[in-house]
């Protein structure tokens, strides 16, 4: 298959996708709106490669070659000849619409336009393009170099060919895919974790059990590697509240309505590991 990838957004997810793809032999154009964001992204990629080299999991010359396959740019036109484009920007439909409208005009015919969204329906994103059959969800998990899973999401008009190309891309960078055949908000994984985190937060909020004990129950009772409240802290309370809200708005299913505790934590800035305080102190 063709091997030119464009990644829109050089944040944690975008830079992670660029990193694993360059390592797998793809030529990558990494695009963000500011040079500062690009520098943070590429510095993060280099630091991650250095860690793999130090642990003996990646040869130094392979890391060097992979870095050489990444081109950072603020120009959206630089993605014109990409075979696969992955959008990995903030979870906001208006922002994504702006990007996909532009990509639709710039990117060559036959290219796959993918979104890394975790909760917004692909059909809604695809609707602003003239080629909804070429738009697909390719949802990576954080941190991208460590997490094996990719969720492929079929929009209402996504073609079989687009899905097959997206799968070939994800598998070529070492991931295992699941396919979401109906484009429901939150897909499979975000619905599952949102429902679990919301219920865990409600149990904690109403004094049924401590955060620690709820997490221990899930780890020892269900074999989860990490409890739901520790997972929320790792992901970011703000991100999970946003995702659960998106699903609730679409589905009107009460089990996805974020409890007051989580909304207040976001108001107070206690959004998990990145702020030093969430359900736990860091």
Which burial class, exposed, middle or buried, applies to 219 when counting CB atoms under 10 A from its CB (0-12, 13-18, 19+)? Answer: middle
Pair (195, 175) in one structural domain: no
Binding site: residue ranges?
48, 55, 118
Helix (H) or strand (E) segment spanning residue 179: strand 176-180
The residue among 180, 203, 220 that closes a domain is 180
The answer on 223 and 103 residing in a single domain is: no
- The tokens for 282 are 């860091």
Length of the chain counted residue by residue: 282
Contacts of 184 (CB under 8 A, 6+ apart): 121, 191, 250, 251
* Residue 214 covered by a domain: yes
C-alpha R_g of the chain = 19
Number of H helices and E strands in the chain, helices first, is: 12, 8
Residue 105 CB: number of other CB atoms within 10 A? 11
Written as one string, the DSSP assignment of 209-254 is S-HHHHHHIIIIIH--SS-HHHHHHHH-HHHHHHHHHHHHHHH--G
User: Which residues does the annotation place in the binding site for CoA?
Assistant: 48, 55, 118
Q: pLDDT below 70 — which residues of the chain?
A: 1-2
Tokens standing for residue 35 = 């040079």
Same domain, yes or no, for 22 and 148? yes
**Residue 82 is part of which domain span?**
4-180
Query: Same domain, yes or no, for 209 and 265?
Result: yes
What's the confidence (pLDDT) of residue 1? 56
**Whole-angstrom Cα distance, residue 114 to residue 86?**
5
pLDDT for 91 equals 86
Last residue of a domain, one of 159, 180, 201: 180
Q: 205 and 88 in one domain?
A: no
In a domain, 277, yes or no: no
For tokens 């979401």, name the residue: 180
Quick one: 171 and 197 in the same domain?
A: no
Strand, coil or helix: 90: coil
Q: Are residues 176 and 37 in the same domain?
A: yes
Backbone angles phi, psi at 153, to 5 degrees: -120, 125
Q: What are phi and psi of 71, to 5 degrees?
A: -115, 120
Domain stops at, among 153, 180, 207 = 180
Domain for residue 279, yes or no? no
SS (H, E, C) 33-72: CCHHHHHHHHHHHHHHHHHHHHCCCCCHHHHHHHHHCEEE
Give the helix, strand, coil percentages of the chain, each rounded to 5: 50, 15, 35
Q: Are residues 39 and 10 in the same domain?
A: yes
Residues 139 and 212 in one domain: no
Quick one: 105 and 130 in the same domain?
A: yes
The answer as to whether 185 is a domain residue is no
Instruction: Give the separation between CA 186 and CA 200, rounded to whole angstroms.
Output: 18
Walk across the sheet containing 70-73 and list its strands. 70-73, 27-31, 4-8, 84-87, 112-115, 135-140, 149-154, 176-180
Tell me, what CATH number does 124's domain have?
Answer: 3.40.50.720
pLDDT one-digit tens code per residue, 210-268? 999 999 999 999 999 999 999 999 989 999 999 899 899 989 999 999 999 999 999 99
In a domain, 282, yes or no: no
Same domain, 92 and 155: yes
């Amino acid at each position: 298959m063709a091997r030119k990838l464009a990644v829109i957004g050089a944040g944690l997810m975008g830079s992670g996708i660029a990193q694993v793809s360059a390592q797998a032999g793809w030529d990558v154009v990494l695009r963000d709106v500011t040079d500062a964001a690009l520098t943070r992204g590429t510095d993060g990629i280099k630091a991650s490669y250095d860690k793999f080299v130090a642990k003996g999991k990646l040869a130094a010359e392979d890391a060097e070659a992979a870095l050489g396959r990444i081109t950072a740019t603020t120009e959206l036109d630089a993605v014109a000849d990409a075979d696969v484009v992955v959008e990995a920007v903030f979870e906001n439909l208006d922002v994504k619409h702006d990007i996909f409208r532009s990509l639709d005009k710039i990117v060559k015919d036959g290219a796959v336009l993918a979104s890394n969204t975790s909760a917004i329906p692909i059909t809604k994103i695809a609707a602003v393009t003239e080629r909804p059959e070429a738009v697909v969800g390719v949802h990576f998990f954080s941190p991208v170099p460590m997490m094996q899973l990719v969720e492929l999401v079929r929009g209402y008009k996504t073609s079989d060919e687009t899905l097959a190309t997206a799968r070939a891309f994800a598998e070529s960078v070492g991931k295992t895919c699941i396919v979401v055949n109906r484009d429901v908000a939150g897909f499979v994984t975000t619905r599952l974790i949102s429902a679990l985190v919301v219920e865990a937060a409600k149990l904690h909020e109403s004094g049924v059990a401590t955060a620690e004990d709820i997490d221990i129950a899930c780890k020892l009772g269900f074999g989860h590697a990490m409890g739901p409240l520790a997972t929320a802290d790792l992901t970011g309370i703000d991100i999970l509240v946003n995702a659960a809200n998106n699903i609730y708005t679409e589905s009107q299913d009460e089990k996805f309505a974020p409890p007051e505790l989580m909304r207040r934590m976001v108001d107070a800035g206690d959004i998990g590991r990145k702020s030093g305080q969430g359900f736990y102190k860091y």
